[in-house]
Structure 1
Amino acid sequence: MKAVLFDAYGTLASITDPRRPYRQVINEARRRGTELPGDVASHVMASPLTLSELASQLHVPTEALHHAERDLETEVASITLYPETLATLEALQARGLKLGVCSNLAAPYAAPLLKVLPPLDAYLWSFEVGAIKPQPQIFEAACQALGCSPVEVLMVGDSLQADVDGARAAGLHAAWLTREGDHGDLQSLDELLQ
């Protein structure tokens, strides 16, 4: 193994006060009878849409948008790393491994995460790549950014389908992190150090 990729939320960090502002905007559009694109959640994560741009596309009124924007501010202010994240990343870097983040997320969630993480070798955000996990394009882009072949990379994440099955289908190794329960490969990031 030459590199380790991590999912962001649910793996490295958590949102301790979830408000789901994008879902609020989508639900408001549904309530108003707006016709939504096929998989609107995937659309949001595969493009650099701000909350206000999404609300505009879905014809959501200003008052509902302002409420969702306040909730977005609350949500990103509550982002925190899991207790073992920094020490695990530093130990893996000390072993000479390249590290990266590969995550499905809406654009406003990347910058707050970058503020709390140490510098890593690569950051692959679905909204920049234009593909979401489990699509192979995002894993291919991650391997290219790390300068590694897929067989040299381990993907660690909390979603069996997106992080594990998607990574394996793209030729990477994968470990399923389940912080609650013992049905995954890992229950904590520091188990990577054993």
Structure 2
Amino acid sequence: MQTCVIFDVFGTLIQIHEKRNPHLQLLRYGRRQGVSPRTEHLHMFMTRELDWEEAAHALGIRSGYVKLHSLNRLLEEELASMTLYDDAQKAIAMLQEAGVKIGLCSNLASGYGPAVRELLPGLDAYGFSYEIGAMKPNPIIYQSVCRDLGVQPGQQLWGDRVVMIGDSIKCDRDGARVAGIAGFHLNRIGQGDFFDLIEFAECVLNG
């Protein structure tokens, strides 16, 4: 039986200590020009690979070099402040040593992808919304990660076991379950299915 584990990224494996919210800053800048922030703007950031100039143009926001440079600096400050949670590397190592395939599934703007891969190298699948073109809880993103892992969610016939964990009930527990994956909610103050990733990894290995 092949066992695969899918992790959410931010709030689960990686934390940002210095949040600068550069994409929100771009939307606030656009509001001063009469561009009202909408849900589809967030969707665009998360499902397309755009640099700052392309993003501003797509939103109809006029921005010069100085503004774009400042947004990029904010992003770089966030990226520089990213670290793994204390339990992340140990939990991944425990699972990999037991032969468990590991994948990531994250709603992510394109500027964050390379930094995430650098902090979490050598995994079996990287499912980022800006590369796939779909956001959690859309089943397409879970299916894409499972395809890269070589398993089919919801198909119990072959004995494959796919488990996911993350800090969002909607995306990482319920959305995963709709896609045929055993989804679990991580809450580090003890109000979810698991309170840390070591406990989760142990449960996967003992299950």
User: TM range, normalised to the smaller chain?
Assistant: over 0.9
1:150 to partner: Cα distance: 1.1
Partner in structure 2 of residue 188 of structure 1? 196
Query: Runs of 4 or more off by more than 4 Å in structure 1?
Result: 35-38
Distance 2:51 2:193 in 1: 35
Q: Which runs of 5+ in 2 are unaligned?
A: 155-160, 203-207
Distance 1:189 1:52 in 2: 38
Aligned identity (percent) is: 39
**TM-score, normalised relative to structure 2:** 0.88
> Is residue 33 of structure 1 aligned with residue 34 of structure 2?
yes
Paired residue for 2:171, among 162, 165, 185?
A: 162
Aligned-partner Cα distance in 2 for 1:44–1:193: 32
Of the structure 1 ranges 140-149 and 50-59, higher mean CA displacement relative to structure 2 is found in 50-59
Taking the aligned partners of 2:106 and 2:43, their CA distance within structure 1 comes to: 12
Assess if the C-alpha contact under 8 Å between 1:28 and 1:60 holds in 2.
Answer: no
* Structure 1 residues 38 and 75: CA distance shift in structure 2, 3 A: closer
Alignment partners' CA distance in 2, 1:61 and 1:78: 26
Matches within 5 A, 1:116-155: 116-151=119-154, 152-155=161-164
Distance 1:57 1:193, change over 3 A: closer
> What is the RMSD computed on CA atoms of the aligned residues?
1.5
Residue 25 of structure 1 and its aligned partner are, at CA, apart by 0.3
Structure 2 vs 1, CA of residues 106 and 7 (structure 1 numbering), >3 Å: closer, same or farther?
same
Q: Which moved more, 1:72-81 or 1:181-190?
A: 181-190
> Which deviates further from its counterpart, 109-118 or 122-131?
109-118
CA deviation after TM superposition for structure 1 residue 67, in Å: 2.0
Distance 1:120 1:67, change over 3 A: same
Shift of 1:139: 0.7
SS of 1:155 mapped into structure 2: strand
User: 1:28–1:64: 8 Å Cα contact kept in structure 2?
Assistant: no
- Give, in whole Å, the separation in 2 of the partners of 1:117 and 1:141: 19
Q: Does 1:173 align with 2:182?
A: yes
Equivalent pairs counted in the alignment come to 193
Deviates more, 1:65-74 or 1:15-24: 65-74
1:156 is matched by which residue type in structure 2?
Answer: I
**2:107 is aligned with 1:104:** yes
For residue 189 of structure 1, what is the amino acid of its counterpart? L
> Hey, what does 2:63 align to over in structure 1?
61
Find the residue that maps to 2:89 and give its secondary structure. helix
Question: Is 1:5 the counterpart of 2:6 in the alignment?
Answer: yes
Which AA in structure 2 matches 1:184?
G
Stretches of structure 1 that go unaligned for 5 or more consecutive residues are: none
TM, length-normalised to structure 1? 0.93
Q: Tell me the distance in 2 between the aligned counterparts of 1:88 and 1:76.
A: 23
- 1:56 deviates by 2.5
SS in 2 for 1:150: coil
Larger Rg: 2
